[in-house]
A and B are shown apart, each in its own frame.
Chain A
Amino acid sequence: MTPDALDALRLPIVPVVPRQEFAAALLRRIEERAGPVVRQTATVRYFVTDLDAAVAFYCRNLDFDEELRPSPVFAMLYRGDLRLLLSVPGGQGGAHTLPDGTVPEPGGWNRISLEVADLVATVDALRERRVRFRTDVVTGVAVRQILLEDPSGNLVELFEPRAGYHERPRG
Protein backbone atom coordinates (compact mmCIF):
# COMPACT_ATOMS: atom_id res chain seq x y z
CA MET A 1 0.00 0.00 0.00
CA THR A 2 1.43 3.34 -0.96
CA PRO A 3 -0.93 6.00 0.29
CA ASP A 4 1.64 8.58 -0.67
CA ALA A 5 0.54 8.13 -4.29
CA LEU A 6 -2.90 9.39 -3.31
CA ASP A 7 -1.36 12.51 -1.83
CA ALA A 8 -1.30 13.68 -5.44
CA LEU A 9 -5.05 14.19 -4.97
CA ARG A 10 -4.40 17.11 -2.61
CA LEU A 11 -6.51 20.03 -3.70
CA PRO A 12 -5.47 23.42 -2.32
CA ILE A 13 -8.21 26.03 -2.21
CA VAL A 14 -8.26 28.13 -5.35
CA PRO A 15 -10.69 31.03 -4.87
CA VAL A 16 -13.60 30.92 -7.29
CA VAL A 17 -16.00 33.83 -7.63
CA PRO A 18 -19.55 32.49 -7.84
CA ARG A 19 -22.34 33.91 -9.98
CA GLN A 20 -23.08 37.55 -9.19
CA GLU A 21 -26.81 36.89 -8.63
CA PHE A 22 -26.02 34.12 -6.18
CA ALA A 23 -23.46 36.23 -4.30
CA ALA A 24 -25.87 39.17 -4.00
CA ALA A 25 -28.81 37.02 -2.89
CA LEU A 26 -26.73 35.25 -0.25
CA LEU A 27 -25.39 38.57 1.06
CA ARG A 28 -28.96 39.85 1.49
CA ARG A 29 -29.86 36.65 3.30
CA ILE A 30 -27.02 36.85 5.81
CA GLU A 31 -27.53 40.59 6.32
CA GLU A 32 -31.13 39.87 7.31
CA ARG A 33 -30.02 37.15 9.67
CA ALA A 34 -27.12 39.10 11.10
CA GLY A 35 -29.57 41.83 12.14
CA PRO A 36 -28.48 45.24 13.33
CA VAL A 37 -24.83 45.69 14.17
CA VAL A 38 -24.26 45.29 17.89
CA ARG A 39 -22.55 48.44 19.10
CA GLN A 40 -20.27 48.49 22.10
CA THR A 41 -21.18 52.07 22.91
CA ALA A 42 -23.52 52.68 25.84
CA THR A 43 -25.69 55.75 25.34
CA VAL A 44 -27.21 57.96 28.04
CA ARG A 45 -29.34 61.08 27.54
CA TYR A 46 -29.28 64.01 29.96
CA PHE A 47 -31.61 67.00 29.87
CA VAL A 48 -29.89 70.36 30.31
CA THR A 49 -31.21 73.89 30.44
CA ASP A 50 -28.12 75.55 28.96
CA LEU A 51 -26.49 73.52 26.19
CA ASP A 52 -23.34 75.63 25.87
CA ALA A 53 -22.67 75.50 29.59
CA ALA A 54 -23.30 71.75 29.68
CA VAL A 55 -20.98 70.94 26.76
CA ALA A 56 -18.25 73.10 28.25
CA PHE A 57 -18.70 71.50 31.67
CA TYR A 58 -18.43 67.90 30.49
CA CYS A 59 -15.58 68.56 28.07
CA ARG A 60 -13.47 70.67 30.43
CA ASN A 61 -14.02 68.81 33.65
CA LEU A 62 -14.81 65.19 32.85
CA ASP A 63 -12.80 64.38 29.72
CA PHE A 64 -15.69 64.20 27.25
CA ASP A 65 -15.21 65.09 23.58
CA GLU A 66 -17.77 66.92 21.54
CA GLU A 67 -18.81 64.78 18.61
CA LEU A 68 -21.80 66.66 17.20
CA ARG A 69 -23.74 69.80 17.95
CA PRO A 70 -26.16 70.01 15.02
CA SER A 71 -28.63 72.36 16.70
CA PRO A 72 -28.89 74.75 19.68
CA VAL A 73 -30.84 72.10 21.61
CA PHE A 74 -28.81 68.94 21.09
CA ALA A 75 -25.21 67.77 21.45
CA MET A 76 -23.48 64.39 21.34
CA LEU A 77 -20.42 63.80 23.51
CA TYR A 78 -18.14 60.81 23.94
CA ARG A 79 -15.96 59.59 26.79
CA GLY A 80 -14.31 56.30 25.83
CA ASP A 81 -17.12 53.89 25.05
CA LEU A 82 -19.82 56.04 26.68
CA ARG A 83 -21.92 58.32 24.48
CA LEU A 84 -23.69 61.14 26.27
CA LEU A 85 -26.59 62.91 24.54
CA LEU A 86 -27.45 66.36 25.85
CA SER A 87 -30.91 67.70 25.04
CA VAL A 88 -32.67 70.91 25.92
CA PRO A 89 -36.24 69.96 27.04
CA GLY A 90 -39.11 70.74 24.73
CA GLY A 91 -37.24 70.27 21.47
CA GLN A 92 -37.74 67.55 18.94
CA GLY A 93 -37.11 63.82 19.18
CA GLY A 94 -35.85 62.51 22.48
CA ALA A 95 -36.57 65.79 24.32
CA HIS A 96 -40.07 66.47 23.02
CA THR A 97 -42.99 67.59 25.17
CA LEU A 98 -45.55 64.84 25.88
CA PRO A 99 -49.14 65.23 24.63
CA ASP A 100 -50.29 66.01 28.17
CA GLY A 101 -47.87 68.91 28.35
CA THR A 102 -45.23 67.18 30.47
CA VAL A 103 -41.77 68.48 29.64
CA PRO A 104 -38.63 66.46 30.46
CA GLU A 105 -36.43 68.15 33.03
CA PRO A 106 -32.90 67.82 34.36
CA GLY A 107 -32.09 66.53 37.80
CA GLY A 108 -33.18 63.61 39.91
CA TRP A 109 -30.93 61.02 41.43
CA ASN A 110 -30.13 58.71 38.54
CA ARG A 111 -26.66 59.35 37.15
CA ILE A 112 -23.85 58.16 35.00
CA SER A 113 -20.94 56.69 36.90
CA LEU A 114 -17.43 57.49 35.69
CA GLU A 115 -14.31 55.69 36.84
CA VAL A 116 -11.27 57.74 37.82
CA ALA A 117 -7.85 56.50 38.84
CA ASP A 118 -7.38 58.82 41.84
CA LEU A 119 -10.63 60.08 43.31
CA VAL A 120 -9.17 62.48 45.86
CA ALA A 121 -6.90 64.19 43.34
CA THR A 122 -9.74 64.45 40.83
CA VAL A 123 -12.08 65.95 43.41
CA ASP A 124 -9.44 68.47 44.52
CA ALA A 125 -8.90 69.58 40.94
CA LEU A 126 -12.64 69.92 40.32
CA ARG A 127 -13.21 71.87 43.54
CA GLU A 128 -10.61 74.38 42.37
CA ARG A 129 -12.73 74.86 39.24
CA ARG A 130 -15.77 75.47 41.48
CA VAL A 131 -17.60 72.35 40.42
CA ARG A 132 -20.55 71.71 42.80
CA PHE A 133 -20.55 68.48 44.79
CA ARG A 134 -23.70 67.08 46.36
CA THR A 135 -21.78 64.77 48.74
CA ASP A 136 -18.31 64.25 50.12
CA VAL A 137 -16.22 61.24 49.23
CA VAL A 138 -17.87 58.17 50.72
CA THR A 139 -16.65 54.61 50.87
CA GLY A 140 -19.13 52.13 49.45
CA VAL A 141 -18.89 48.45 48.57
CA ALA A 142 -15.68 47.97 46.60
CA VAL A 143 -15.51 51.63 45.52
CA ARG A 144 -15.00 55.13 46.85
CA GLN A 145 -17.39 57.58 45.28
CA ILE A 146 -18.67 61.13 45.18
CA LEU A 147 -21.60 62.90 43.51
CA LEU A 148 -21.22 66.15 41.60
CA GLU A 149 -23.72 68.27 39.67
CA ASP A 150 -23.53 69.65 36.17
CA PRO A 151 -24.72 73.26 35.62
CA SER A 152 -28.31 72.03 35.06
CA GLY A 153 -28.37 70.00 38.28
CA ASN A 154 -27.84 66.53 36.75
CA LEU A 155 -25.81 64.21 38.90
CA VAL A 156 -22.55 62.57 37.89
CA GLU A 157 -20.96 59.95 40.08
CA LEU A 158 -17.18 59.54 40.15
CA PHE A 159 -15.74 56.36 41.58
CA GLU A 160 -12.40 54.78 42.28
CA PRO A 161 -12.27 50.95 42.46
CA ARG A 162 -11.12 49.32 45.70
CA ALA A 163 -10.53 45.72 46.79
CA GLY A 164 -13.36 43.44 45.66
CA TYR A 165 -14.38 45.68 42.75
CA HIS A 166 -16.00 43.73 39.93
CA GLU A 167 -16.71 44.29 36.25
CA ARG A 168 -17.42 41.73 33.57
CA PRO A 169 -14.13 41.04 31.76
CA ARG A 170 -13.96 42.49 28.29
CA GLY A 171 -13.56 40.32 25.25
Chain B
Amino acid sequence: MVAIYHLALPQVYGYLLPRCGNAALAEDLTAETFVAAVGATRKGLVPNVNVAWLVGIARHKLVDYWRRAAREQRSLALVENDSEGVADPWEEWLDAEVAHAALSRLPPPQRAALTLRYLDGLPVADVASHLGRSLRATETLLARARAALRRIYVEEGGP
Protein backbone atom coordinates (compact mmCIF):
# COMPACT_ATOMS: atom_id res chain seq x y z
CA MET B 1 0.00 0.00 0.00
CA VAL B 2 2.76 2.38 0.97
CA ALA B 3 4.53 1.34 -2.24
CA ILE B 4 1.77 2.61 -4.54
CA TYR B 5 0.63 5.51 -2.33
CA HIS B 6 2.26 8.28 -4.38
CA LEU B 7 0.90 6.87 -7.63
CA ALA B 8 -2.58 6.15 -6.30
CA LEU B 9 -3.23 9.23 -4.17
CA PRO B 10 -3.87 11.71 -7.03
CA GLN B 11 -6.09 9.14 -8.76
CA VAL B 12 -8.24 8.48 -5.71
CA TYR B 13 -8.42 12.16 -4.82
CA GLY B 14 -9.04 13.01 -8.49
CA TYR B 15 -11.95 10.56 -8.50
CA LEU B 16 -13.50 11.90 -5.31
CA LEU B 17 -13.00 15.66 -5.62
CA PRO B 18 -15.31 16.42 -8.56
CA ARG B 19 -17.88 13.93 -7.32
CA CYS B 20 -18.20 15.46 -3.88
CA GLY B 21 -17.46 18.98 -5.05
CA ASN B 22 -15.72 19.98 -1.83
CA ALA B 23 -12.07 19.55 -0.92
CA ALA B 24 -12.54 18.90 2.80
CA LEU B 25 -14.98 16.08 2.15
CA ALA B 26 -12.78 14.69 -0.65
CA GLU B 27 -9.84 14.61 1.78
CA ASP B 28 -11.89 12.82 4.44
CA LEU B 29 -13.10 10.19 1.99
CA THR B 30 -9.60 9.79 0.50
CA ALA B 31 -8.23 9.12 3.98
CA GLU B 32 -11.06 6.65 4.72
CA THR B 33 -10.28 4.89 1.44
CA PHE B 34 -6.59 4.36 2.17
CA VAL B 35 -7.14 3.38 5.79
CA ALA B 36 -9.70 0.77 4.72
CA ALA B 37 -7.33 -0.45 2.01
CA VAL B 38 -4.50 -0.92 4.50
CA GLY B 39 -6.84 -2.86 6.76
CA ALA B 40 -7.85 -5.18 3.93
CA THR B 41 -4.27 -5.80 2.81
CA ARG B 42 -3.19 -6.56 6.38
CA LYS B 43 -5.85 -9.25 6.58
CA GLY B 44 -4.41 -10.73 3.39
CA LEU B 45 -7.72 -10.35 1.55
CA VAL B 46 -6.35 -8.56 -1.49
CA PRO B 47 -4.69 -10.46 -4.29
CA ASN B 48 -3.98 -7.36 -6.33
CA VAL B 49 -3.36 -3.95 -4.81
CA ASN B 50 -3.78 -1.45 -7.63
CA VAL B 51 -5.36 1.89 -8.48
CA ALA B 52 -8.58 0.39 -9.87
CA TRP B 53 -9.15 -1.47 -6.62
CA LEU B 54 -8.55 1.70 -4.60
CA VAL B 55 -10.96 3.69 -6.77
CA GLY B 56 -13.53 0.95 -6.13
CA ILE B 57 -13.09 1.47 -2.38
CA ALA B 58 -13.38 5.23 -2.88
CA ARG B 59 -16.68 4.68 -4.70
CA HIS B 60 -17.97 2.67 -1.73
CA LYS B 61 -16.89 5.39 0.65
CA LEU B 62 -18.69 8.01 -1.43
CA VAL B 63 -21.89 5.97 -1.47
CA ASP B 64 -21.59 5.43 2.30
CA TYR B 65 -21.22 9.15 2.76
CA TRP B 66 -24.37 9.87 0.75
CA ARG B 67 -26.22 7.20 2.70
CA ARG B 68 -25.27 8.92 5.98
CA ALA B 69 -26.21 12.28 4.51
CA ALA B 70 -29.60 10.92 3.45
CA ARG B 71 -30.24 9.66 6.99
CA GLU B 72 -29.37 13.05 8.43
CA GLN B 73 -31.67 14.80 5.99
CA ARG B 74 -34.50 12.45 6.87
CA SER B 75 -33.97 13.18 10.55
CA LEU B 76 -34.38 16.86 9.71
CA ALA B 77 -37.73 15.93 8.18
CA LEU B 78 -36.82 17.13 4.73
CA VAL B 79 -39.03 15.64 2.10
CA GLU B 80 -37.59 14.23 -1.08
CA ASN B 81 -39.08 15.59 -4.27
CA ASP B 82 -41.43 13.03 -5.61
CA SER B 83 -41.13 13.29 -9.35
CA GLU B 84 -42.28 9.82 -10.30
CA GLY B 85 -44.18 9.76 -13.51
CA VAL B 86 -42.79 13.03 -14.73
CA ALA B 87 -41.67 12.87 -18.33
CA ASP B 88 -37.96 12.80 -18.95
CA PRO B 89 -37.50 15.27 -21.77
CA TRP B 90 -33.74 15.32 -22.19
CA GLU B 91 -32.48 16.88 -25.34
CA GLU B 92 -29.83 15.14 -27.37
CA TRP B 93 -27.38 17.81 -26.33
CA LEU B 94 -26.48 18.53 -22.73
CA ASP B 95 -24.30 21.16 -21.13
CA ALA B 96 -22.28 18.88 -18.87
CA GLU B 97 -21.01 21.68 -16.67
CA VAL B 98 -24.49 22.99 -15.91
CA ALA B 99 -25.71 19.43 -15.40
CA HIS B 100 -22.88 18.65 -12.95
CA ALA B 101 -23.73 21.79 -10.99
CA ALA B 102 -27.40 20.79 -10.95
CA LEU B 103 -26.45 17.31 -9.75
CA SER B 104 -24.89 18.72 -6.59
CA ARG B 105 -28.27 20.14 -5.57
CA LEU B 106 -30.10 16.80 -5.68
CA PRO B 107 -30.93 14.85 -2.51
CA PRO B 108 -28.15 12.35 -1.67
CA PRO B 109 -29.83 9.14 -2.93
CA GLN B 110 -30.58 10.68 -6.32
CA ARG B 111 -27.12 12.19 -6.53
CA ALA B 112 -25.58 8.83 -5.67
CA ALA B 113 -27.61 6.99 -8.29
CA LEU B 114 -26.86 9.44 -11.10
CA THR B 115 -23.16 9.64 -10.17
CA LEU B 116 -22.71 5.89 -10.28
CA ARG B 117 -24.81 5.46 -13.42
CA TYR B 118 -23.57 8.35 -15.51
CA LEU B 119 -20.39 9.92 -14.10
CA ASP B 120 -18.89 6.49 -13.39
CA GLY B 121 -20.74 4.73 -16.23
CA LEU B 122 -21.80 1.70 -14.18
CA PRO B 123 -24.56 -0.63 -15.41
CA VAL B 124 -27.87 -0.29 -13.53
CA ALA B 125 -27.32 -3.66 -11.82
CA ASP B 126 -24.02 -2.43 -10.36
CA VAL B 127 -25.64 0.81 -9.24
CA ALA B 128 -28.30 -1.26 -7.46
CA SER B 129 -25.69 -3.37 -5.73
CA HIS B 130 -23.73 -0.30 -4.57
CA LEU B 131 -26.88 1.32 -3.23
CA GLY B 132 -28.19 -1.87 -1.64
CA ARG B 133 -31.48 -1.58 -3.54
CA SER B 134 -33.34 -3.90 -5.87
CA LEU B 135 -32.99 -3.44 -9.61
CA ARG B 136 -36.55 -2.20 -9.87
CA ALA B 137 -36.17 0.26 -7.00
CA THR B 138 -32.96 1.51 -8.56
CA GLU B 139 -34.63 2.06 -11.92
CA THR B 140 -37.36 4.03 -10.18
CA LEU B 141 -34.79 6.06 -8.27
CA LEU B 142 -32.89 6.78 -11.48
CA ALA B 143 -36.07 7.91 -13.24
CA ARG B 144 -36.93 10.26 -10.39
CA ALA B 145 -33.39 11.52 -10.24
CA ARG B 146 -33.29 12.23 -13.98
CA ALA B 147 -36.55 14.17 -13.74
CA ALA B 148 -35.36 16.14 -10.71
CA LEU B 149 -32.05 16.87 -12.38
CA ARG B 150 -33.89 18.06 -15.46
CA ARG B 151 -35.94 20.48 -13.39
CA ILE B 152 -32.91 22.02 -11.70
CA TYR B 153 -30.98 21.99 -14.95
CA VAL B 154 -33.67 24.07 -16.65
CA GLU B 155 -33.79 26.46 -13.68
CA GLU B 156 -30.01 26.84 -13.90
CA GLY B 157 -30.34 27.91 -17.51
CA GLY B 158 -29.54 24.77 -19.42
CA PRO B 159 -31.11 24.23 -22.83
Are A and B a genuine interacting pair, yes or no? yes
Point out residues on A near B: beta carbons under 8 Å.
1-11, 13-19, 22-23, 26-27, 29-31, 33-35
Interface: B88 (CB within 8 A): yes
Pick the contact of B35 from A8, A11, A16, A30 — CB < 8 Å?
Answer: A30
Q: Which residue of B lies closest to A26 (CB)?
A: B31
Which residues of chain A are near B114, meaning CB under 8 Å? 6, 9
State how many angstroms separate the Cβ of A156 from the closest Cβ of chain B: 32
Given contacts A18-B30, A29-B35, contact A6 B90 (CB under 8 A): yes
What residues on A are CB-neighbors of B35 within 8 Å? 29-30, 33
List 22 contacting pairs A-B, 8 Å CB cutoff, sorted by A.
A1-B90, A4-B92, A5-B93, A6-B90, A6-B114, A6-B118, A7-B121, A8-B94, A8-B99, A10-B118, A11-B19, A13-B11, A16-B14, A17-B10, A18-B23, A18-B27, A26-B9, A26-B34, A27-B5, A29-B34, A33-B35, A34-B41
| B77 CB within 8 Å of chain A | no
Query: Which B residues are closer than 8 A to A by beta carbons?
Result: 1-2, 5, 9-11, 13-15, 17-19, 23, 26-27, 30-31, 34-35, 37-39, 41-42, 55, 88, 90-94, 96, 99-100, 103, 114, 117-121, 143, 146, 149
